[in-house]
Chains A and B, each alone.
Chain A
Amino acid sequence: QVQLQESGPGLVKPSETLSLTCAVSGYSISSGYYWGWIRQPPGKGLEWIGSIYHSGSTYYNPSLKSRVTISVDTSKNQFSLKLSSVTAADTAVYYCAREVGGIGSSWRYDYWGQGTLVTVSS
């Protein structure tokens, strides 16, 4: 059974960088699939942030691209998210998930982490 678990600080100061890690168990990232990040502001809908392939190839939401970096560590079977210059608008539950299909028609997420709330506040 594929399992994903997010970890990282729950509180980040404005203008600083949000950093989260997603540990994957039950499946080797090196075996394939894309791996993505999605966020959900409190009481609001879902927003796709970006995704990474095990080779390191990435693609990002254009509206966040200038601030987002997603990386992968296959030796630890985990991938990470960095979001720079955060503001209160970045307060959200951040989910990591396994992505099927990559860019295009087959794009979907079949396994999700439980999510972690990150609050941006001084």
Chain B
Amino acid sequence: QSVLTQPPSASGTPGQRVTISCSGSSSNIGSNTVNWYQQLPGTAPKLLIYSNNQRPSGVPDRFSGSKSGTSASLAISGLQSEDEADYYCAAWDDSLIKGVFGGGTKLTVL
């Protein structure tokens, strides 16, 4: 059971906007910033969003992040077939004294 809770799956059609949620607690999301990783099939995770809503260089602005209280969300607009991947949220947990990840959400582009 992951400390951060994500829906196991999400889907959308090309061009649609999709959101993925990440629920935590006061000791992780409530106290620290949230990061999102994209893992394409058979590859290593890639940092997609950091510090709740910042995009690393090279990440399209179709990807955006937000945080409110103890929850966070990743939004993908203008969905493309190459966005089909697993998405993980992550944050530091002050009570557990460790980095924690969500269980991952598998995004399917229909």
- The answer to whether A and B come from one shared complex is yes
> Which residues of A pack against B, CB within 8 Å?
38, 45-48, 61-63, 95, 100, 103-110, 112-115
B-side interface size class: 20 to 34
A45 close to B96 (CB less than 8 A)? no
B47 close to A45 (CB less than 8 A)? no
B46 close to A45 (CB less than 8 A)? no
B45 close to A46 (CB less than 8 A)? yes
B35 in complex: contacting residue of A45, A108, A113, CB < 8 Å = A108
* Contact residues, B42-58 vs A (CB, 8 A): 43-47, 50-51, 56
B46 close to A48 (CB less than 8 A)? no
The smallest C-beta distance from A110 to any residue of chain B, in angstroms, reads 5
Contacts of A108 in B (CB 8 A): 35, 47, 50-51, 90
In the complex, residue of chain B having the shortest beta-carbon distance to the beta carbon of A36: B99
In the complex, residue of chain B having the shortest beta-carbon distance to the beta carbon of A107: B92
B88 close to A112 (CB less than 8 A)? no
Contacts of B50 in A (CB 8 A): 100, 108, 110
B44 in complex: contacting residue of A62, A106, A113, CB < 8 Å = A113
5 A/B residue pairs, CB under 8 Å, sorted by A: A45-B102, A104-B32, A106-B33, A109-B45, A109-B47
A46 close to B101 (CB less than 8 A)? yes
B44 close to A104 (CB less than 8 A)? no
A104 close to B92 (CB less than 8 A)? yes
B104 in complex: contacting residue of A45, A61, A106, CB < 8 Å = A45
In the complex, residue of chain A having the shortest beta-carbon distance to the beta carbon of B103: A45
